[in-house]
């Protein structure tokens, strides 16, 4: 083989190697499209859902008409409005402080928006979601920029991580801390302006 | 003699073989995609009977079994929230109810066929928006001789009232689609109103 042939072959191998390195992995391919909810009362949309966070508070106890939620820690209560945009489905959520991830509480059963609401396009729901936290979480250095995230369920792609995710950053240390909060059950509310 | 000229036959073979290899590798995914693609709905004018092709669970995904029902849209009414009826059924401000009356002739169909589902579809900023029939949105459910759902497995003729709740202004222009409710239905019937 001539010297030129060897150079061409080496270039082809190098190019193939470069292409392999440049190809995105599964983690990147399946990463959600994250959009940030900039502030309270600002409606923000993914392809599947819109979310408006209307309030966020801490409480030692949460109550619904049928349930009292005592805890050794503290409740994070986030009030919001959510709307499906394409098809019927619900809302899912997650919460994190730094690298520590928390699930939304299911203790209140259908009284929370992520468990008790199934929306249809442009017909919004209002309600609350709950996170039960240890008291030590409030002392975590990441507590000043904790993140609650929302995604749709049952969408065309199955919802969740394969579609858009909305994130809202909270400073837990600056939230009102109340002895008890009564949350309303999820309810349909009149349609608002649709976010494009 | 240049390098290209000396290797012309090998290069010519590459020009043919590389696209052929790519086509062969991608054809499997392509045929799978085409096979799974939703079919265009069969459109039937208002009041005309339409043939709805159903199937049995587990049957061959590429073949329809020839089991059919006849569906005829006999009425389509939009009830805004700010009317007496709208208030009676508890419609929220800014919404409207849509009532689609459909005569279904499923005579002779066996008990194990798929049932059918009605959907209202209207364009939105992210593509088509799809509403399923109401479930708890209003204080109304079809009663008497009217069926509240499409149960083809009864094997008889019946009148079905499909009720939807949609944002105000959607009902008049929305498309009424009958399908098996799956993401990529193999057969869809559009009943014009």
- Tens of pLDDT, residue by residue over B46-80, are 889 998 888 777 665 545 567 889 999 999 999 99
Please tell me the predicted confidence (pLDDT) of residue A14. 92
| b (16+ CB within 10 A) / e for B33-58 | eeeeeeeebeebeeeeebebbbbeee
Q: Do A190 and B95 touch (CB under 8 A)?
A: yes
pLDDT at residue A29 tops 80: no
Give the mean model confidence (pLDDT) for residues A22-51: 88
| Chain centroid, CA B152 distance in Å | 16
Give the mean model confidence (pLDDT) for residues A32-48: 93
Going by their DSSP bridges, the two strands B117-124 and A49-64 should be labelled as: unpaired
A196 Cβ under 8 Å from any chain B Cβ: yes
Please tell me the predicted confidence (pLDDT) of residue A196. 39
pLDDT at residue B101 tops 50: yes
Please tell me the predicted confidence (pLDDT) of residue A111. 93
Give B63-123 as a 3 state SS string. Answer: CCCCEEEEEEEEEEEEEECCCHHHHHCCCCCCEEEEEEEEEEECCCCCCCCCCEEEEEEEE
Q: Do A194 and B125 touch (CB under 8 A)?
A: yes
Q: Where is average pLDDT lowest: A38-42, A96-100, B141-145?
A: B141-145
A28 Cβ under 8 Å from any chain B Cβ: no
Burial class (CB in 10 A: 0-12, 13-18, 19+), A12: exposed
Task: For chain A, give the number of residues.
Answer: 196
Bigger pLDDT: B39 or B76? B76
**Candidate from A47, A86, A190 with C-beta closest to B93:** A190
Task: Give B-chain residues touching A86 at CB under 8 angstroms.
Answer: 124, 126-130
Give the mean model confidence (pLDDT) for residues A60-86: 95
Please tell me the predicted confidence (pLDDT) of residue A151. 92
Reported confidence tier of residue A1, pLDDT bands at 50, 70, 90: low
What is the average pLDDT score of chain A? 90
Chain B: give the shortest CA distance to residue A143, in Å. Answer: 35
Q: Give the residue on B whose Cα is nearest the Cα of A124.
A: B167
Q: Give the residue on B whose Cα is nearest the Cα of A191.
A: B94
| Residues A140-194: tens digit of each pLDDT | 999 999 999 999 987 655 555 567 899 999 999 999 999 999 999 999 999 974 4
Please tell me the predicted confidence (pLDDT) of residue B185. 77
Give the three-class secondary structure for A13. Answer: helix
Chain B: give the shortest CA distance to residue A56, in Å. Answer: 26
Q: What share of chain A is helix, strand, coil (3-state, %, to 5)?
A: 25, 45, 30
**Candidate from B93, B124, B170 with C-beta closest to A85:** B124
pLDDT at residue B38 tops 70: no
Task: Give A-chain residues touching B183 at CB under 8 angstroms.
Answer: 156
Write down the ipTM of this complex: 0.83
Q: Do A191 and B137 touch (CB under 8 A)?
A: no
Q: Do B129 and A86 touch (CB under 8 A)?
A: yes
Q: Do A123 and B125 touch (CB under 8 A)?
A: no
| Residues B152-190: tens digit of each pLDDT | 888 899 999 999 999 999 999 999 999 987 767 778 899
CB A166 within 8 A of CB A80: no
Q: Which of A53, A35, A36, A50 is nearest to A85 (CA)?
A: A50
| Residues A107-143: tens digit of each pLDDT | 999 999 999 999 999 999 999 999 999 999 999 999 9
**Candidate from B95, B126, B168 with C-beta closest to A85:** B126
Q: What is the percent of chain B where pLDDT is above 90?
A: 58
Interface residues on B facing A, Cβ-Cβ cutoff 8 A = 3, 92-95, 124-132, 135, 137, 165-168, 170, 183
Q: Do B131 and A5 touch (CB under 8 A)?
A: no
């Amino acid at each position: 083989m001539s010297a030129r042939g060897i150079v061409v072959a080496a270039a082809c191998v190098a190019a193939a190697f470069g292409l392999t390195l440049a190809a995105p992995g599964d983690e990147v391919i399946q990463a959600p499209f994250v959009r940030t909810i900039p502030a309270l009362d600002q409606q923000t949309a993914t392809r599947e859902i819109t979310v408006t966070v209307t309030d966020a508070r801490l409480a030692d106890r949460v109550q619904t008409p049928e349930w009292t939620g005592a805890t050794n820690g503290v409740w994070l209560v986030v009030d919001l409005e959510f709307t499906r945009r394409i098809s019927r489905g619900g809302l899912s959520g997650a919460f994190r402080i730094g690298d520590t991830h928390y699930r939304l509480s299911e203790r209140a059963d259908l009284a929370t928006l992520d468990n008790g609401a199934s929306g249809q396009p442009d017909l919004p729901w209002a309600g609350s979601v709950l996170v039960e936290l240890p008291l030590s979480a409030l002392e975590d250095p990441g507590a000043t920029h904790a993140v609650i995230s929302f995604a749709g369920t049952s969408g065309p792609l199955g919802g969740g991580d394969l579609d858009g995710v909305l994130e809202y950053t909270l400073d837990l240390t600056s939230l009102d801390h109340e002895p008890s909060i009564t949350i309303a059950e999820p309810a349909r509310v009149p349609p608002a302006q649709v976010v494009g | 003699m240049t390098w290209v000229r000396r290797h012309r036959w090998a290069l010519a073979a590459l020009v043919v073989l590389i696209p052929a290899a790519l086509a062969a590798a991608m054809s499997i995914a392509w045929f799978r995609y085409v096979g799974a693609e939703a079919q265009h709905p069969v459109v039937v004018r208002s009041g005309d009977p339409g043939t709805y092709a159903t199937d049995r669970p587990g049957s061959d995904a590429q073949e329809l079994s020839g089991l059919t029902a006849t569906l005829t849209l006999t009425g389509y009414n939009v009830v805004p929230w700010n009317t007496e009826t709208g208030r009676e059924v508890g419609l929220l401000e800014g919404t409207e109810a849509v009532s689609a009356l459909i005569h279904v002739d499923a005579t002779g169909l066996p008990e194990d066929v798929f049932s059918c589902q009605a959907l209202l579809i209207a364009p939105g900023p992210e593509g088509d928006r799809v509403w399923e029939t109401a479930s708890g949105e209003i204080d109304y459910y079809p009663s008497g001789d009217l069926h509240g759902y499409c149960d083809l497995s009864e094997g008889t003729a019946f009148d079905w009232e499909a009720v939807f709740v949609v944002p105000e202004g959607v009902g008049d222009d929305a498309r009424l689609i009958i399908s098996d409710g799956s993401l990529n239905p193999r057969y869809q019937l559009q009943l014009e109103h």
